[in-house]
Amino acid sequence: MHTRFFSNGSTVSNRSLDTIPTPLKPEEIPLLEVSSPGARLRRAPRLVEEDIAEIPATRDRVLRHQGLWRRINDKLPSQISRRHISVISVGGVIGTGVFIGVSNSLRHAGPIGALIAYLITGSIVWSVVISIGEMVAWLPNVGGPVGLACLYVDPALGFALGWNAWYNWAVILPAELSAAALALESFPSINPTRRSYIAVSVLLGVSTLVNCLGAGVFGEVEFFLSLFKVLLICGLIVMSLFLDVRKGNAGVIGLSRWNDPGPFVKYRDIPPRAWGDFLGLWTVIMQACFSFFGTEVAAIAAGEVINPRANIPRAVNRVWIRIFLFYVGAVFAAGLLVRSDDCRLGPPQPEKNCTMKGVSQPYNISIPSSSPFIIAVEDAGLGPTLKNSLTIAFAISAWSAGTSDIYMSSRFLFFLAECGQAPGFLRKTPQWGKSFGMKIIVPYFSVLMSFLIGLLAFLSVPDSRNSAMTTKANDVFKWLSSMTAAASLLSWVGMMFTYLRFFYGRKLQESKTPEFRKVNLALYGKKWYHKWQPIPAWYAFLSCVGIVFCNGWYVFTQKSFQWRIAEEPTDGPPISDPDIGPFVPTFISSYLPIPFFLLCMFGYKLVYRSEMVKLEDMPWHNGHVEPITDTEEPKGLWKIVDSLF
């Protein structure tokens, strides 16, 4: 036994796990006031570590986490309803990945290769979502995946997951805004530089404004925007099938694109043929991860969701709609209409021609990349009105995803600040006025930080007066954006590791206590408990680890090139690839998130001496979770929408 002395003069003595004190009652849970010394940056992590890990009673550990979350919930009251979260979980973060990103998928892997890659990635994401949903349904009020990692693995993992997730959501924001500006390139009457500046400024400003009006306004706006995107994807799939079977000037398209130029693409002409086809498919799997990231948004937003124990599992169980109907359906439809070697999809394979409306020709860099759906509209001769309408719709979708990115990144910052793992001013939530009958309570400083990160989108704006500076700025932005794919995969790896610890801890309790299932029926709810676990969790965990470590595989296939970190005046131009970019920056941006994640985790362990929670010490009391109620019954048109989502 030894005693710890704190800066406020109090002491805590370590005791053996055999000596379990009387569990705290909920009204006895100490909640730190904002003015208390324990709320300061250096002291506050002990609320998560020492106030939890030092207390042997596992029930008290859960109660203290819930006490922290209750304080957060008091600051940010639940304003996202069942109607909101049901639709947002399906379409909230659908952005340019499904509308424009499919172009890269087709030209890298071909129609069948891209379809298989999205099916594989979709199965990985589905495994991630059902695993997270099972844990969040059990404990919806401890801080989502970050709080669960603190309870069932190690506070250090929760710290690393929180900052990794913040970086991911924050940097995806300017990427979505840049994609929206890129989608507007089909309006040539406006100066490109001015057009991009206007687009980025307006979209970023409106997204920030929506987030400054409270979670209720965000939920309402995103509900209609998500519904719009869902209808847009359904409309595109129906339109694609119609164009595919109609008899045009060249006859019925049917499955002809699968025969010419072929179902697969031999990536970069790497021999043998089967190996090249596989590498093309593998490349698209990595690209698809970027498109799928955010599917777990329902679990992360649990703190501001009304009746989370009923609404979160319900939303999570419908994510398969987004995965298999929208993404896989969109890739299938695009592969029916557009050739994988079309010039408008992007640069072709090295030393090969591309095709423009069926005619082979050398690739011209002045040809702007476009969405396969817009290419199909152009080839069908449906007129510029539909093309421009789709362009605006894609830009709106990117703006909607950017709005969700600000919400998620600001909430992660706010939660980290409340845990004492970020500067304290980020947790301030001044209240002013009402909107839609709800109080406007927002962590404005956290939203402001997300807004400032969004300004990086201006790096991608072309400047006709200084093309060299524009190229360098755009390269920096690309490197920052490319790191989000690895960061998102690391988030999934951490979440799956947390679930596996959760699963095996539960199995241990089942073997030790025969009555465990009867006592903890909430752990086995039929809406979220999956009997075939942990197979999906292991599948997702190992797949994500493999994809993370093979993320920059292309640079290792080159026989020789210089690892040039710094440039000398006498050096020639760095070895680069027209599609991949410079090799060294590509390698660094592919793998830099890994040491950053490990540095956060082990740095926290070094400073706060946290320890991994043993399986036998895991908490299996869900403390004070509100009972499942279903009082919010949709009416009228919303009842139809609710039944679909």
Count of alpha carbons within 13 Å of 49, Cβ hemisphere only? 23
Please, what is the end-to-end C-alpha distance for the chain in angstroms? 55
Quick check: 151 pLDDT over 70? yes
Confidence of residue 426 (pLDDT cuts 50, 70, 90): confident
Q: Which of 328-332, 560-564, 600-604 has the lowest mean pLDDT?
A: 560-564
Count of alpha carbons within 13 Å of 500, Cβ hemisphere only? 15
pLDDT (average), residues 198-227: 84
pLDDT (average), residues 55-78: 60
Q: Which of 23-32, 260-269, 399-408, 519-528 has the lowest mean pLDDT?
A: 23-32
Place of tokens 């777990």: 296
Q: In sequence order, what are the residues at sequence separation of 6 or more whose Cβ sits closer than 8 angstroms to the Cβ of residue 392?
A: 184
Indicate the residue type of 31.
L
Whether the CB-CB separation of 421 and 392 falls below 8 Å is answered with: no
Confidence of residue 160 (pLDDT cuts 50, 70, 90): very high
Confidence of residue 24 (pLDDT cuts 50, 70, 90): very low
Confidence of residue 57 (pLDDT cuts 50, 70, 90): very low
The total of other beta-carbon atoms located within 10 Å of residue 630's CB is: 10
Compare 404 and 60 and report the one with higher pLDDT.
404
Length of the chain: 645
What CA–CA distance (Å, rounded) separates 446 from 407?
Answer: 9
- Beta 11-13 vs 3-5: how paired, if at all? antiparallel
Phi, psi of 63 (to 5 degrees): -60, -35
Compare 52 and 428 and report the one with higher pLDDT.
428
pLDDT (average), residues 345-349: 67
Core vs surface per residue 485-521: b (16+ CB within 10 A) or e? bbbbbbbbbbbbbbbbbbbebbebbeeeeeebeeebe
Confidence of residue 484 (pLDDT cuts 50, 70, 90): confident
Dump pLDDT digits (tens) for 230-245.
888 888 888 888 888 8
Quick check: 545 pLDDT over 50? yes
Q: Which of 56-65, 277-286, 337-346, 456-465 has the lowest mean pLDDT?
A: 56-65
Q: What is the per-residue pLDDT for 28?
A: 44
Q: Which of 130-139, 400-409, 592-601 has the lowest mean pLDDT?
A: 130-139
What CA–CA distance (Å, rounded) separates 24 from 30?
Answer: 10
Whether the CB-CB separation of 109 and 403 falls below 8 Å is answered with: no
* CA neighbor of 106 nearest in space, from 334, 287, 394: 334
For the record, the structure tokens of 127 come out as: 């495994």
For the record, the structure tokens of 149 come out as: 């990692």
Domain ranges of the chain: 3-458+490-561+581-644
Phi, psi of 433 (to 5 degrees): 65, -175
Q: Long-range contacts made by residues 541-546, C-beta under 8 angstroms, separation at least 24?
A: 541/493, 541/496, 541/497, 541/500, 543/124, 544/124, 544/128, 544/489, 544/492, 544/493, 544/496, 545/493
Confidence of residue 16 (pLDDT cuts 50, 70, 90): very low
Compare 475 and 620 and report the one with higher pLDDT.
620
Quick check: 90 pLDDT over 50? yes
Q: Is 571 left (phi over 0), alpha (psi -120 to 50) or beta?
A: beta
Indicate the residue type of 614.
K
The total of other beta-carbon atoms located within 10 Å of residue 265's CB is: 28
Q: Which of 191-205, 263-277, 541-555 has the lowest mean pLDDT?
A: 263-277
* CA neighbor of 257 nearest in space, from 387, 129, 106, 381: 106
Indicate the residue type of 585.
P
Quick check: 53 pLDDT over 60? no
Q: Which of 7-21, 74-88, 158-172, 596-610 has the lowest mean pLDDT?
A: 7-21
Quick check: 499 pLDDT over 90? yes
Confidence of residue 344 (pLDDT cuts 50, 70, 90): confident
For 3-458+490-561+581-644, which CATH superfamily applies? Answer: Amino acid/polyamine transporter I (1.20.1740.10)
pLDDT (average), residues 493-503: 92
Quick check: 51 pLDDT over 50? no
pLDDT (average), residues 38-54: 37
Q: In sequence order, what are the residues at sequence separation of 6 or more whose Cβ sits closer than 8 angstroms to the Cβ of residue 369?
A: 100, 103, 182, 344, 345, 346
What CA–CA distance (Å, rounded) separates 92 from 296?
Answer: 11
Quick check: 542 pLDDT over 90? yes
* Percent of the chain at pLDDT exceeding 70: 59
What CA–CA distance (Å, rounded) separates 333 from 118?
Answer: 13
